[in-house]
Protein backbone atom coordinates (compact mmCIF):
# COMPACT_ATOMS: atom_id res chain seq x y z
CA UNK A 1 0.00 0.00 0.00
CA UNK A 2 1.57 3.33 -1.03
CA UNK A 3 1.75 5.97 1.71
CA UNK A 4 -0.82 8.72 1.28
CA UNK A 5 0.50 12.30 1.41
CA UNK A 6 -0.89 14.13 4.46
CA UNK A 7 -3.61 16.61 3.47
CA UNK A 8 -2.90 20.31 3.85
CA UNK A 9 -3.72 21.40 7.42
CA UNK A 10 -5.21 24.72 6.19
CA UNK A 11 -7.38 25.94 3.32
CA UNK A 12 -5.82 27.77 0.40
CA UNK A 13 -4.95 30.52 -0.39
CA UNK A 14 -2.80 32.10 2.31
CA UNK A 15 -2.02 35.81 2.58
CA UNK A 16 0.70 36.40 -0.02
CA UNK A 17 1.20 32.71 -0.85
CA UNK A 18 -1.09 31.78 -3.73
CA UNK A 19 -3.23 28.72 -4.24
CA UNK A 20 -1.11 27.86 -7.31
CA UNK A 21 2.13 27.93 -5.28
CA UNK A 22 0.68 25.82 -2.47
CA UNK A 23 -0.91 23.34 -4.92
CA UNK A 24 2.35 22.76 -6.80
CA UNK A 25 4.32 22.65 -3.54
CA UNK A 26 2.01 20.23 -1.75
CA UNK A 27 0.32 18.16 -4.48
CA UNK A 28 3.34 17.71 -6.78
CA UNK A 29 6.63 18.31 -4.93
CA UNK A 30 5.76 17.06 -1.43
CA UNK A 31 3.68 14.17 -2.83
CA UNK A 32 6.65 13.28 -5.05
CA UNK A 33 8.89 12.89 -1.97
CA UNK A 34 6.28 10.67 -0.31
CA UNK A 35 6.28 8.38 -3.38
CA UNK A 36 10.10 8.31 -3.61
CA UNK A 37 10.36 7.54 0.13
CA UNK A 38 8.16 4.47 -0.46
CA UNK A 39 10.03 3.42 -3.60
CA UNK A 40 13.44 3.63 -1.90
CA UNK A 41 12.20 1.89 1.26
CA UNK A 42 10.91 -1.00 -0.88
CA UNK A 43 14.25 -1.40 -2.68
CA UNK A 44 16.21 -1.22 0.59
CA UNK A 45 13.91 -3.78 2.22
CA UNK A 46 14.55 -6.19 -0.67
CA UNK A 47 18.33 -5.71 -0.29
CA UNK A 48 18.11 -6.14 3.49
CA UNK A 49 16.29 -9.45 3.07
CA UNK A 50 18.94 -11.40 1.24
CA UNK A 51 19.64 -9.10 -1.73
CA UNK A 52 23.12 -8.82 -3.25
CA UNK A 53 24.98 -6.11 -1.30
CA UNK A 54 28.45 -7.38 -2.20
CA UNK A 55 29.10 -4.33 -4.43
CA UNK A 56 28.53 -1.81 -1.57
CA UNK A 57 31.06 0.98 -2.13
CA UNK A 58 31.41 4.62 -0.99
CA UNK A 59 32.29 5.96 -4.49
CA UNK A 60 29.34 4.42 -6.31
CA UNK A 61 27.12 1.44 -5.70
CA UNK A 62 23.39 0.73 -5.82
CA UNK A 63 23.28 0.65 -2.02
CA UNK A 64 25.10 3.98 -1.76
CA UNK A 65 22.67 5.63 -4.22
CA UNK A 66 19.69 4.27 -2.29
CA UNK A 67 21.04 5.33 1.13
CA UNK A 68 21.78 8.84 -0.21
CA UNK A 69 18.35 9.07 -1.84
CA UNK A 70 16.72 7.74 1.34
CA UNK A 71 17.78 10.68 3.55
CA UNK A 72 16.91 13.15 0.78
CA UNK A 73 13.41 11.72 0.34
CA UNK A 74 12.66 11.08 4.03
CA UNK A 75 13.74 14.58 5.06
CA UNK A 76 11.90 15.96 2.00
CA UNK A 77 8.70 14.45 3.43
CA UNK A 78 9.23 15.39 7.08
CA UNK A 79 10.48 18.95 6.50
CA UNK A 80 7.57 19.75 4.17
CA UNK A 81 5.05 18.33 6.66
CA UNK A 82 6.48 20.53 9.44
CA UNK A 83 6.47 23.53 7.06
CA UNK A 84 2.82 23.11 6.02
CA UNK A 85 1.88 22.38 9.64
CA UNK A 86 2.88 25.85 10.89
CA UNK A 87 1.10 27.75 8.06
CA UNK A 88 -2.51 28.90 8.09
CA UNK A 89 -2.39 30.96 11.29
CA UNK A 90 -2.82 34.66 12.02
CA UNK A 91 0.86 35.43 12.54
CA UNK A 92 0.31 36.80 16.05
CA UNK A 93 3.08 35.60 18.40
CA UNK A 94 1.70 33.96 21.52
CA UNK A 95 2.33 31.39 24.24
CA UNK A 96 5.42 29.98 25.96
CA UNK A 97 7.32 29.83 22.64
CA UNK A 98 6.94 33.58 22.09
CA UNK A 99 8.03 34.14 25.72
CA UNK A 100 11.10 31.91 25.30
CA UNK A 101 12.09 33.62 22.03
CA UNK A 102 11.67 37.09 23.56
CA UNK A 103 13.91 36.02 26.43
CA UNK A 104 16.56 34.55 24.10
CA UNK A 105 16.57 37.28 21.40
CA UNK A 106 15.37 40.36 23.31
CA UNK A 107 11.98 40.41 21.55
CA UNK A 108 9.94 38.25 19.18
CA UNK A 109 10.53 40.88 16.46
CA UNK A 110 14.29 40.50 16.94
CA UNK A 111 13.94 36.71 16.63
CA UNK A 112 11.85 37.06 13.44
CA UNK A 113 14.44 39.46 12.00
CA UNK A 114 17.32 37.11 12.81
CA UNK A 115 15.61 33.92 11.57
CA UNK A 116 14.68 35.84 8.39
CA UNK A 117 18.35 36.81 7.95
CA UNK A 118 19.34 33.15 8.43
CA UNK A 119 16.74 32.30 5.75
CA UNK A 120 18.32 34.84 3.39
CA UNK A 121 21.61 32.99 3.94
CA UNK A 122 20.17 29.52 3.20
CA UNK A 123 19.69 27.66 -0.10
CA UNK A 124 16.95 25.36 1.19
CA UNK A 125 15.75 25.31 4.77
CA UNK A 126 15.91 27.35 7.95
CA UNK A 127 14.68 25.57 11.05
CA UNK A 128 14.02 26.76 14.58
CA UNK A 129 14.53 23.63 16.64
CA UNK A 130 14.68 22.47 20.22
CA UNK A 131 18.22 21.16 20.60
CA UNK A 132 17.94 18.23 23.02
CA UNK A 133 21.71 18.30 23.67
CA UNK A 134 21.94 22.00 24.59
CA UNK A 135 18.36 22.04 25.92
CA UNK A 136 17.86 25.31 24.05
CA UNK A 137 16.16 26.78 20.99
CA UNK A 138 18.55 26.92 18.02
CA UNK A 139 18.26 28.05 14.40
CA UNK A 140 19.91 25.69 11.89
CA UNK A 141 20.20 26.03 8.10
CA UNK A 142 20.22 23.23 5.52
CA UNK A 143 21.06 23.85 1.86
CA UNK A 144 19.30 20.64 0.81
CA UNK A 145 17.03 18.21 2.65
CA UNK A 146 19.88 15.95 3.78
CA UNK A 147 22.49 18.55 4.65
CA UNK A 148 22.80 20.87 7.62
CA UNK A 149 20.31 19.13 9.91
CA UNK A 150 21.59 18.37 13.41
CA UNK A 151 20.67 15.04 14.97
CA UNK A 152 18.85 15.24 18.27
CA UNK A 153 17.06 18.45 17.33
CA UNK A 154 13.27 18.66 17.15
CA UNK A 155 11.82 21.17 14.67
CA UNK A 156 9.51 23.89 16.01
CA UNK A 157 9.27 26.30 13.05
CA UNK A 158 10.34 24.93 9.64
CA UNK A 159 10.79 27.47 6.85
CA UNK A 160 11.19 26.39 3.20
CA UNK A 161 13.25 28.92 1.22
CA UNK A 162 13.66 26.96 -1.99
CA UNK A 163 12.55 29.20 -4.87
CA UNK A 164 9.58 26.92 -5.59
CA UNK A 165 8.07 28.19 -2.31
CA UNK A 166 7.72 31.74 -3.64
CA UNK A 167 8.90 32.35 -7.22
CA UNK A 168 5.37 32.38 -8.70
CA UNK A 169 4.20 34.94 -6.13
CA UNK A 170 7.22 37.08 -5.31
CA UNK A 171 9.65 36.36 -8.14
CA UNK A 172 13.20 36.64 -6.79
CA UNK A 173 12.10 38.82 -3.83
CA UNK A 174 12.71 36.34 -1.01
CA UNK A 175 12.30 39.06 1.63
CA UNK A 176 8.69 39.61 0.51
CA UNK A 177 8.05 35.85 0.78
CA UNK A 178 9.55 35.78 4.29
CA UNK A 179 7.20 38.60 5.32
CA UNK A 180 4.28 36.51 3.97
CA UNK A 181 5.52 33.42 5.82
CA UNK A 182 5.52 35.20 9.20
CA UNK A 183 2.05 36.70 8.46
CA UNK A 184 0.68 33.17 8.02
CA UNK A 185 2.53 31.52 10.88
CA UNK A 186 0.32 29.48 13.17
CA UNK A 187 1.85 30.21 16.58
CA UNK A 188 -0.54 27.81 18.29
CA UNK A 189 0.87 24.92 16.24
CA UNK A 190 4.44 26.14 16.77
CA UNK A 191 3.73 26.24 20.52
CA UNK A 192 2.44 22.66 20.36
CA UNK A 193 5.69 21.53 18.65
CA UNK A 194 7.73 23.47 21.23
CA UNK A 195 5.82 22.00 24.17
CA UNK A 196 6.17 18.44 22.82
CA UNK A 197 9.88 18.96 22.06
CA UNK A 198 10.75 20.32 25.50
CA UNK A 199 8.76 17.51 27.17
CA 178 to chain centre: 14
The residue count for binding Fe ion (CB under 5 A) is: 2
Name which of 10, 16, 9 is nearest 179 in CA terms: 16
Q: Whole-number minimum distance, CB 7 to Fe ion, in Å?
A: 17
Asked if 85 interacts with Fe ion (CB under 5 A), we say no
Residues in contact with Fe ion, shown as a per-residue x/- string from 154 to 193 under the rule CB under 5 A: ------x-x-------------------------------
Provide Rg for the chain, Cα atoms.
18
Which of 160, 186 has the CB closer to Fe ion?
A: 160
Contact status, residue 154 vs residue 132, Cβ threshold 8 Å: yes
3-state SS, residue 86: coil
Name which of 81 and 160 has its Cβ closer to Fe ion.
160
Contact between 131 and 138 (Cβ < 8 Å): yes
The terminus-to-terminus CA distance of the chain in angstroms comes to 33
Q: Where are the alpha helices (DSSP H) in 49-153?
A: 62-85, 95-105, 108-120
Binding part of the chain for Fe ion, among 34-42, 52-60, 153-161, 179-187 by CB under 5 A, reads: 153-161
Q: Site residues for Fe ion, window 3-62 (CB under 5 A)?
A: none
Nearer to Fe ion by Cβ, of 72 and 162: the residue is 162
The minimum distance between CB 6 and Fe ion, in angstroms, equals: 14
Which residues of this protein are in contact with Fe ion, per CB under 5 A?
A: 160, 162
Amino acid sequence: MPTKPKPLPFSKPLAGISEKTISIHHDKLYAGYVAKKDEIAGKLAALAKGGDVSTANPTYSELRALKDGETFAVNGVYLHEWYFDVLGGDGKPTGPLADALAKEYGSVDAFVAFMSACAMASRGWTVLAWDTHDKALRIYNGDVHNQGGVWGCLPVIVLDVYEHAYFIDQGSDRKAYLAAFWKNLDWKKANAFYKAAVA
